[in-house]
Amino acid sequence: MLANKLTIKPCGVAAPLRQRAHGRSPVSVIASQQGLPAQPAAPSTRRRVLPIVSELLEAEAAVNLFERVAGRSAMIGFAVATAVEVLLPGPDTGLFGAWAQSDIAGQFAALGMVLLCCSVGLAARTYRPMSRRRHRLMEPMLCSLTSGRRSFAGVTQQNVDRWVDSVFASVFTQPFATAMATPRAFSAAAEALAPVYVVFGASGGIGSALSELLAARPGAQLLLSGRDGGKLAAVQGRAGAAAAVSFAAADPCDPKAVEDVIGEAVKLYGRVDGVANCVGSVILKPAHTTSLQEFEDTLRINLVSSFGVLRAAAKAMSRPANSGGGSIVFCSSAVARHGIPNHEAIAAAKGGVAAMALSAAATYAPRNIRVNCVAPGLTRTPMTARITSSEAALKASTAMHALKRIGEPQEAAAAIAFLLDPANSFITGQVLAVDGGLGSVRAS
């Protein structure tokens, strides 16, 4: 009997060991054989630890991916903001300058916010849910954006999509539809792209005609300058009905005052696209009767003023805000190209203007700044009234022109406007004669 017990006992231990491979512990097998209640199996430590470690690794990878995408978005946004700051038209005009006060600027700002939210959502959706287990480690927010299920915050991708659609419709669809239905659709954007002109000598005959001609262009923005503020106000009243026209009284022979006028234009409109100098004088004397003071005054009014305008305009047009360059136009004279008695002083001054313009055209061409001249003949203006009011002098002057008449200020102004026009951006270094043939054609 004892031998039988000894032979049976090892079999009772081996059987549970063999059944352990089927997932039952030796204690539970022996208990079942002896009729005792089975005890629950102890949980496997390996089966609990490995999924947690795996999920932690997945969570870390997902967070790293999100941080990379969000970080790059932040870097791009910072770069854009820095670029805008560099392109500011002035230190006191706000982040986007005067353009930021327009309605369309507000719509673009809202678009930027929507795109930022979309980028965050897109970054969150670049990875899949980290686990299919019921209790995930990163359930809130980011995981909810990856599927249609609710998180504890109640956020779903469908809710985000509906919110983006509603914001886009309210911010863009309705305002743009309303703007398209009005005559001044996108007026703010048009103003931002409209040309900006500065006219020196705007109270004179050619300068006032040019101001009215430029103001007639759609969306044009003008700053008029001259010595007499009252005359400038009168020109502004005639020219400002269909355009944004302002004026600043200044001495065109003072380089600092000229630079301040250009700076005022940049402050008002953000940039300068075209500058014209219509300042000039007339002196009809032979050299031996011309005093040194008269000669110096002639050079200062015609040549020195033009140099000051060139210096200030080129500096303003070289700014980043003027990436498209600009156009500068000066007034020379036909007497600088054709020898006429008693014009030595004015011929020297106007010849210097033309020579300066040609050199400047070569200097600033790489910056896309065009420099040209018009060379009028005798033109009927208040400055030439002493000549045109005399019947004998007018008859003699008319006979010198091949077309047998003198010019009108609107004709010289049209030539200046032609050279200022961005549509003629392939013209530079030219002296355009508007002289009725005085400088190149022999009168019969």
> Mean pLDDT across the stretch 380-396?
91
Pinpoint the alpha helices (H) of 26-151: 26-33, 45-86, 103-124
Q: First CA to last CA across the chain, in angstroms?
A: 157
Q: Are residues 215 and 346 in the same domain?
A: yes
Q: Are residues 115 and 228 in the same domain?
A: no
What pLDDT score was predicted for residue 118?
56
Q: Which helix (H) or strand (E) holds 97?
A: none
Cβ 203 vs Cβ 235: under 8 Å: yes
What pLDDT score was predicted for residue 68?
64
For residue 344, the enclosing domain spans 195-434
- DSSP state string for 345-383: HHHHHHHHHHHHHHHHHHHHGGGTEEEEEEEE-SB-SGG
443 occurs within a structural domain: no
Q: Are residues 231 and 124 in the same domain?
A: no
Residue at which a domain ends, from 187, 219, 239: 187
What pLDDT score was predicted for residue 299?
97
pLDDT in tens, 75-105: 666 566 655 555 554 444 444 444 444 455 5
| CATH number where 381 lies | 3.40.50.720
pLDDT of 243 > 60? The answer is yes
pLDDT in tens, 248-284: 999 999 999 999 999 999 999 999 999 999 999 999 9
pLDDT in tens, 10-53: 444 444 444 444 445 554 544 455 555 555 555 555 555 566 66
Rounded Cα distance, 250 and 248, in Å:
6
Instruction: Supply angle C-alpha 419, 423, 429, rounded to 5.
Output: 40
pLDDT in tens, 54-64: 666 676 676 66
Looking up tokens 């929507």 gives 114
Cβ 332 vs Cβ 354: under 8 Å: yes
Cβ 260 vs Cβ 308: under 8 Å: no
Residue at which a domain ends, from 187, 220, 242: 187
Q: Are residues 289 and 416 in the same domain?
A: yes
Q: Are residues 372 and 415 in the same domain?
A: yes
255 occurs within a structural domain: yes
96 phi and psi angles, rounded to 5 deg: -105, 15
Radius of gyration of the chain (CA): 41
Q: Which amino acid is at 164?
A: V
Which is more confident, 327 or 188?
327
> Mean pLDDT across the stretch 363-380?
96
> What global pTM score does this model have?
0.60
38 occurs within a structural domain: no
pLDDT in tens, 107-135: 555 556 655 555 555 544 444 444 444 44
Q: Are residues 70 and 148 in the same domain?
A: yes
Q: Are residues 343 and 394 in the same domain?
A: yes
Number of domains in the chain: 3
Strand order in the sheet with 274-277: 244-249, 221-226, 196-200, 274-277, 326-331, 369-376, 431-434
Q: Are residues 108 and 59 in the same domain?
A: yes
- Look over the chain and give the mean of its residue pLDDT values, rounded to a whole number: 75
Q: Name residue 442's beta-bridge partners.
A: none
What pLDDT score was predicted for residue 218?
85
Rounded Cα distance, 87 and 320, in Å:
6
Q: Name residue 224's beta-bridge partners.
A: 199, 247
Q: Are residues 280 and 391 in the same domain?
A: yes
- Joined tokens for residue 357: 């313009």
Residue at which a domain ends, from 168, 187, 206: 187
Rounded Cα distance, 346 and 338, in Å:
12
Closest CA to 278 of 337, 231, 330, 352: 330
Q: Are residues 207 and 138 in the same domain?
A: no
Q: Are residues 74 and 216 in the same domain?
A: no
300 occurs within a structural domain: yes
202 occurs within a structural domain: yes
Q: Are residues 137 and 218 in the same domain?
A: no
